[in-house]
Structure 1
Amino acid sequence: MSNANTYQGSCFCGAVRFTVTGEPVAMGYCHCESCRHWSAGPVNAFTLWQPDAVQVTQGADNIGTYHKTPNSYRKWCKSCGGHLFSEHPGMGLTDVYAAVIPALDYQPTVHVNYQETVLHIKDGLPKLKDFPKEMGGSGISLDE
């Protein structure tokens, strides 16, 4: 594949490195309590990829996994604690946190789980109560 569509990423200290290849399936913001708590922020910027597009190139043995629910297997670096990505088996996708792939032209298109927001964002993007219908949600839009 072309290098133009391959992006380098890493944890905070650089012990774990990975690439994502191609283009993400979706990009947006998640406002759910779980993502907010995990990211220690009021909102989480996500990029969703097909699992085979994500390749760990260094430090695979240094990746820790935590799953509070079967919906998300959250991955982080055991050395620095830097968050890397979450595997979502039910969706068949991997969420690579936008902040860890700096060269990607992040173009969010949606806010999900906006019913749980603690930070109201007026950016003109759709605000979904939970998830799009095609991802098992209600697809209900909320006002900005």
Structure 2
Amino acid sequence: MKGGCFCGVVRYALLSTPYDTGWCHCRICQRTSGAPAVVFTTVPKGDLVFEQGRDSLRSIATTSFGRRQFCGECGTLLTIQVDFQADEIDITAATLDAPSGVAPGFHIFFADRVSWNEPGDALPRFDSWRPDTRGLPVS
């Protein structure tokens, strides 16, 4: 699978089949995307290869344990990384050339959902992280 940013400066390839695809309704996703939710999908970190535009990537720490990468030219949100899943990286699914190839299987941070955004699916909904989130620190 391949994908990239809106302006075409950044292009990437996924070397393995994405997994763990879902909707995130957290306020950070809302604010960094300008949308009520973001669909992300996951691959092992080494299986995301930037084929062009690596120098245009910018990064921002959005929490004490996570950061996001975006195109410095057009602003497209591309990746989400969290420290407790250091060997994996999330890619924003809509940046794939064929985003229909990865279907969401759940909603997280549903408690933060924008009130007028009521999904019409029957996917599992979690108010925060999913209980089976890999690597999640126990509180």
Tell me, yes or no, whether TM beats 0.5. yes
Q: CA deviation at 1:137?
A: 8.1
Select which of 71, 80, 95 maps to 1:100.
95
Map of 2:65 onto structure 1: 71
Q: What corresponds to 1:123 in structure 2?
A: 121
Structure 1 residues 80 and 56: alpha-carbon distance in aligned structure 2, compared to 1, 3 A threshold = same
8 Å contact from structure 2 (residues 4, 97) kept in 1: no
Aligned twin of 2:110: 114
* Structure 2 gap ranges (5+): none
Q: Distance in 1 between matches of 2:25 and 2:137?
A: 14
CA contact (8 A) 2:18 2:102 kept: no
2:10 to 8, 11, 16: 16
In the alignment, structure 1 segments of 5+ residues that lack a partner are: 1-6, 139-144
RMSD (CA atoms): 1.7
Q: Give 1:141's aligned residue.
A: none
What is the correspondence of 1:28-43 to structure 2 with a 5 Å cutoff?
28-43=22-37
What secondary structure, in the 3-state scheme, does the structure 2 residue paired with 1:34 have? helix
Q: Which structure has the highest strand share of the two?
A: 1
- In 1, Cα distance between equivalents of 2:3 and 2:75: 15
Q: Which amino acid aligns with 2:50?
A: V
Counterpart CA distance in 1 for 2:37 and 2:10 is: 24
Sequence identity, in percent? Answer: 27
- For 1:131 and 1:120, the matched residues in 2 are separated by 19
Aligned partners of 2:28 and 2:62 also within 8 Å: no
Per-residue CA deviation, residues 83-140 of structure 1 (Å, 9 max, x unaligned), is 21122222232110011103241211100011111122130100011112232389xx
Partner Cα separation in structure 2 for residue 124 and residue 68 of structure 1? 30
Whole-angstrom distance in 1 between the partners of 2:113 and 2:76: 24
User: What amino acid maps onto 1:94 in structure 2?
Assistant: I
**Relative to structure 1, is the Cα distance of residues 106 and 137 closer, same or farther in structure 2, using a 3 angstrom cutoff?**
farther
Structure-2 separation of matches of 1:57 and 1:29 = 26
Instruction: Give the TM-score taking structure 2 as reference length.
Output: 0.87
Residue 133 of structure 1 corresponds to: 131
Stretches (4+) displaced over 2 A: none
